[in-house]
Structure 1
Amino acid sequence: MTERLVPYQPLDLQEPADLVAAIRQRRGGELINLDRMLLHSTPFSRGWNAFLGEVRSHLSLDLKLRELAMCGVAVLNRADYEFLHHSPIFIKAGGTEAQVNALRSLGQQLMPQGLFTALEQDALDLTIQMTKSIEVDRSLMKRLQEQLGNTRLVELVGVIATYNMVSRFLVALEVTPDQH
């Protein structure tokens, strides 16, 4: 394996104390590799922590749908780290192992019929379109708007956009899965 271009900050990093403490509290005491990379820039890490905290914890969009979109983005962008972190949350939110296994080939083949609800399939189609071609089919957006309403549609689009940012950060800086 080649040497890391940008090394992780140490696991026992203490400064900036308020930010490191806030991240540790949100993570249950540990800094994960993503945090250790972000902490190279205090302003970036502070903004990321606040923004992603809101996206992860304060949206009205159903948790299962959020995590489905996050997992879809991770697969499409080959961000294994992201998929490893979010697929267990997807399962806890009501997803199944069969759905997780199907997600591993998202964008490469059609999803098995009946495995996802119509809303979930539309959310996956939106994830693919936003991630791969940027532009989104208006009829798909209309269907989603009818099912979700304006607020939750904006949140779904925002989750997909946000996790595209996350995956691009992870892949570019070669953030690897945490070793426990």
Structure 2
Amino acid sequence: WDVLFSAIRDKSSLPDHLREIAIVRTAVLNKAWYEWGWHAPLLQDTEPFRQSPNKIHTVADPNPLDPGELDEVEWTVLKFADEITKNINPTDNTFEKLRSVCGFSNREIVELTATVSGYNFASRECEHREFVAGTESSDS
């Protein structure tokens, strides 16, 4: 667990704010408030979000209709995280924008995909543990 998430958080070449947008989006969409509690402050502490604090409102909205104050790169990362979380695969348009708008290399696309996938796993695992912990076991 620690090795996987240390690699995602600490060895990624993604800019911090883009990595944290991806993580926070999985928390919002999966209603993983523990994950939100850790990562929303990290996102807000990145330079682009310190300069424009209202950006967090778009990231926190489960169904944003427009990018608000997010720039085109941030919006593309948010849309990619949404599509992977909800549908497994991104649309062709969003995937193409990772290259054309974000300028991402293959490595960065793999890192972004691993970030979204990893935190989908983490949020679902943590939420499942909370659910199981709150139920009576028939084995006891």
Deviation, structure 1 residue 158: 0.9
2:111 aligned with 1:158? no
Deviation, structure 1 residue 105: 1.5
User: 1:49-97 deviations in whole A, cap 9, x for unaligned?
Assistant: 1111111101111111000110011000000010110011111222243
Aligned to 2:93: 139
Matches of 2:58 and 2:97 in 1, distance apart?
23
**Structure 1 segments (4+ residues) deviating >4 Å:** none
Distance 1:109-1:59 versus aligned 2 partners, 3 A rule: closer
2:57 aligned with 1:109? no
Residue type at the aligned position of 1:158: A
Query: What's the TM-score, normalizing by structure 1?
Result: 0.65
**Where does structure 1 lack aligned partners over 5 or more consecutive residues?**
1-47, 176-180
**Where does structure 2 lack aligned partners over 5 or more consecutive residues?**
132-140
User: 1:22-68 deviations in whole A, cap 9, x for unaligned?
Assistant: xxxxxxxxxxxxxxxxxxxxxxxxxx011111111011111110001
Within 5 Å, which residues of 2 pair with 1:1-180? 48-94=1-47, 95=49, 96-106=52-62, 108-113=63-68, 115-146=69-100, 147-174=103-130
Matches of 1:82 and 1:72 in 2, distance apart?
10
Matches of 2:113 and 2:25 in 1, distance apart?
13
Q: Retained in 1: the 8 A contact 2:59–2:78? A: no
Aligned residues: 126
Residue type at the aligned position of 1:58: K
Percent of pairs with identical residues: 27
Query: What's the TM-score, normalizing by structure 2?
Result: 0.83
